[in-house]
């Protein structure tokens, strides 16, 4: 039956930035589809783990500062594999944003954003794919892109650059890892109601301008992203790699 192709029973997933918002939604979606989940966040995502365990799945929280992923990625993946026995799915969701005009954008803001949004997925994916290759059973890596993987945006040069880089990195990884049956795709969320977008939604004029351009007529929610995450993590997408999937209410089509 086709719905069986979306099941994740027996799989182990890692979700970064799983403590709240979109990352929490991804973690819960994978657990609802049958996966055990390791949550990674700068603060231990114990609440997310408790909700996963309530679904009957195994969960464990790992508190890691992903700005230091170059040093932390390999030990982290090693601990997860020791605790769960394997690794099948990696969702590189953790991200930060710093709003500042281009002419005044500080080196610190630039470096902080690139470290978490682009370097961390690179180093975590390296560590994860080595385990997946050694297991010999393939795997799924899901990166989180953005509408700014396609557009320039304003006031967020580090964020826009990191998300453009994620789109290209996803394609490169897909090319190199396909022989190992590791599929690498990205999700590009549109305007989603989270803590990161709260300042925009609090500005009545900016909020209305955004709504006027979204054909669906509303902001997205983290729950709107759960289905595509399960699809890309599951056998249903085994012949799909190198793609960036827009989930934006039609924003980019407008």
pLDDT tens for the chain, residues 1 to 254: 899 999 999 999 999 999 999 999 999 999 999 999 999 999 999 999 999 999 999 999 999 999 999 999 999 999 999 999 999 999 999 999 999 999 999 999 999 999 999 999 999 999 999 999 999 999 999 999 999 999 999 999 999 999 999 999 999 999 999 999 999 999 999 999 998 888 889 999 999 999 999 999 999 999 999 999 999 999 999 999 999 999 999 999 99
Amino acid 123: pLDDT: 98
Q: Which helix (H) or strand (E) holds 15?
A: strand 12-16
Find the domain containing 85 and state its range.
2-194+222-246
Does 204 fall in a domain? Answer: no
Amino acid 195: pLDDT: 87
Is 225 exposed, middle or buried (CB count within 10 Å of its CB: 0-12, 13-18, 19+)? buried
Does 230 fall in a domain? Answer: yes
Q: How many structural domains are present in the chain? A: 1
Both tokens of 143, joined, read 């990166």
Token pair 């902080």 in the structure block, residue: 112
Amino acid 150: pLDDT: 97
Does 180 fall in a domain? Answer: yes
Is 61 exposed, middle or buried (CB count within 10 Å of its CB: 0-12, 13-18, 19+)? buried
Q: How many helices (H) and strands (E) in the chain?
A: 9, 7
Does 119 fall in a domain? Answer: yes
The set of catalytic residues is 159
Domain containing 159 — which CATH number?
Answer: 3.40.50.720
Does 199 fall in a domain? Answer: no
Does 239 fall in a domain? Answer: yes
201 half-sphere exposure, CB direction, 13 A CA radius:
11
Does 184 fall in a domain? Answer: yes
- What's the pLDDT tens digit per position in 29-85? 999 999 999 999 999 999 999 999 999 999 999 999 999 999 999 999 999 999 999
Amino acid 162: pLDDT: 98
Amino acid 174: pLDDT: 99
Does 6 fall in a domain? Answer: yes
């Amino acid at each position: 039956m086709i719905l069986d192709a979306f099941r994740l029973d027996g799989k182990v997933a890692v979700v970064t930035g799983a403590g709240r918002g979109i990352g929490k939604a991804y973690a819960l979606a994978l657990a609802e589809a049958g996966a055990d989940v390791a949550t990674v966040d700068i603060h231990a995502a114990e609440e997310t783990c408790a909700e996963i365990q309530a679904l009957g799945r195994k969960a464990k929280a790992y508190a890691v500062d992903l700005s230091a992923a170059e040093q932390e990625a390999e030990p982290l993946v090693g601990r997860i594999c020791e605790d769960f026995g394997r690794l099948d799915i990696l969702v590189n969701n953790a991200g930060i944003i710093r709003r500042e005009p281009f002419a005044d954008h500080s080196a610190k803001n630039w470096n902080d954003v690139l470290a978490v949004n682009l370097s961390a997925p690179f180093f975590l994916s390296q560590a994860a794919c080595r385990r997946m290759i050694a297991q010999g059973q393939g795997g799924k890596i899901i990166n989180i892109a953005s509408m700014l993987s396609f557009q320039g945006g304003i006031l967020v040069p580090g964020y826009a650059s990191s998300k453009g880089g994620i789109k290209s990195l996803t394609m490169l990884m897909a090319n190199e890892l396909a022989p190992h049956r590791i599929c690498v795709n990205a999700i590009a969320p549109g305007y989603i109601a989270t803590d990161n977008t709260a300042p925009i939604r609090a500005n009545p004029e900016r909020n209305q301008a955004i709504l006027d351009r979204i054909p669906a007529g509303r902001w997205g929610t983290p729950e709107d992203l759960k289905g595509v995450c399960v699809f890309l993590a599951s056998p249903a997408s085994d012949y799909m790699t190198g793609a960036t999937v827009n989930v934006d209410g039609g924003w980019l089509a407008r």
